[in-house]
Amino acid sequence: MARSDQRVAIVGLGYVGLPLLVEFGRTRNVIGFDLSVQRVVEISKGYDRTGEVEEQYLLAVMDNLTITHNIADLSDANIFIVAVPTPIDESNRPDMTYLLEASRLVGSVLKSGDIVVYESTVYPGATEEDCVSVLSEVSGLKYLEGEDSSIEGYYCGYSPERINPGDRVRRLPDIVKITSGSTPLAASVIDDLYREIIIAGTYRAPSIRVAEAAKVIENVQRDVNIALVNELAIIFNHLGIDTESVLEAAGTKWNFQPFRPGLVGGHCIGIDPYYLKHKAQSVGYHPEIISAVRRLNDSMGSYVVAQLVKAMTRRGIALEGARILVLGLAFKENCPDLRNSRVVDIVAELNEFSCRVDVYDPWVSVQEAEVELGISPVEAPDEQSYDAIVIAVAHREFREMGAESIRAFGKPNHILYDLKYVLAKSEADLRL
């Protein structure tokens, strides 16, 4: 498929899809599709609520974009890039609803010779075992794979997203992109396509399953490393040793990895291991390390609250009715992303102790927090009103406040718990 014949469509315009749309839009006409009418209207006006694409960059390529929620507008495309969420359900099992619905949608406009590329994080085999069956059923077309040189049929590929929300240094073009295709021809076309926008270059995996596996273990590895330092933090707290001081000392060796303890949320590290665990169990293997890591990291909210409760009790601060200020609700610093935020675990635990919890986060949408998490952040904290303050997210606004301004929210006798090492050791009462 020559470049002049390629008509690209991005299906799903969230944290992953919109940056793709803008980068492709710099050099070619491209279709952006999202089921959310509100999202389509906002993007058409140059506004990205995720904060990943600034207005000036979005407006600069607008003439090359067709942004739509109308399925019929996808009919002109022959390369579809699917970038929709792949969350987990309440039982921590993969929820493929969005991915399969997107596959049905694409299948309804799929033509012979078309290519469908998936970017959503999945378990190895999902593209060809789950998505392809939907595409073939809806389109009535043959899936072309291996050395198949049939004239009629469609191709698939997998190129996992590597977006780091809130990162202004490592942007989409600056991160090496893994690519793969169902046939050598498809793999070549897909790799060439991404090379147009990825300055850092691409890496062509030998198969779709290898590309899927490579993506999912990126975050499994990070999950394991964070769990290790979380456990170390718990041990050092029992020993009365400051964890950050230990990590700084150990970090003087060239090969010591600079992981820090904390809550593990978001749409990657806290989700992807469950996808691999699910697949492993489906073939009869129970992953011991991945399971243990998930249990430990998912329990950190409870541990944080237990530490805070002990500190308050030692200070003679009554728990029932105590006012607690939690600074930060997004899953990570300097971004509005609420997906799988584990700050909710701290809020829920404190509510169990009949505390009155205020959450303040200058980055997040109050309406979105209410809808997605059932939490209503305050517009501003009250001065001299809180029995305890928890710095849960290291937003730059909190760093700029400094200890004195943050403590101004507390009563004369209060506890300041710094989970993210925003302050110096001497400035906080507790650190993880």
Beta-bridged to residue 324, according to DSSP, are 357, 388
Q: Which residues, at least 6 apart from 268, have a Cβ–Cβ distance to it below 8 Å?
A: 121, 219
Which residues face 88 on adjacent strands?
Answer: 94
Alpha carbon distance 380, 265 (integer Å): 24
Q: Which helix (H) or strand (E) holds 417?
A: strand 410-418
What tokens appear for 311 in the block?
């500190």
Q: Extract the tokens encoding 106.
A: 């694409």
CA pair distance 422, 276, nearest whole angstrom:
33
Instruction: List the one residue out of 77, 75, 126, 135 whose CA is nearest residue 102.
Output: 135
* Phi, psi for 25 (deg, rounded to 5): -65, -10
Question: How far is it, in rounded angstroms, from Cα 95 to Cα 101?
Answer: 11
Contact status, residue 418 vs residue 242, Cβ threshold 8 Å: no
For residues 270-309, one letter each, b for 16 or more C-beta atoms within 10 angstroms of the residue's C-beta and e for the rest, the string is: bbbbbbbbbbbeeeeeebeebeebbebbbebbebbbebbb
What's the rounded Cα separation, in Å, for the pair 418 and 393? Answer: 9
CA dist 60 to 22, 54, 139, 163, Å? 9, 10, 36, 21
Q: Which residues are catalytic?
A: 268
Q: Estimate to the nearest angstrom the gap between the alpha carbon of 193 and the chain centroid.
A: 24
CB neighbours of 119 closer than 8 A, spacing ≥ 6?
Answer: 16, 17, 20, 81, 82, 83, 158, 159, 160, 161
Dump strand ranges (E) for 349-407.
356-360, 386-391
Cα gap 247→215, rounded to integer Å = 28
> Which residue bears the tokens 């090379």?
195
Q: Are 263 and 390 in contact (CB under 8 A)?
A: no
Please state the φ and ψ torsions of residue 108, each to the nearest 5 degrees. -70, -15
Residue with tokens 């060439």: 192
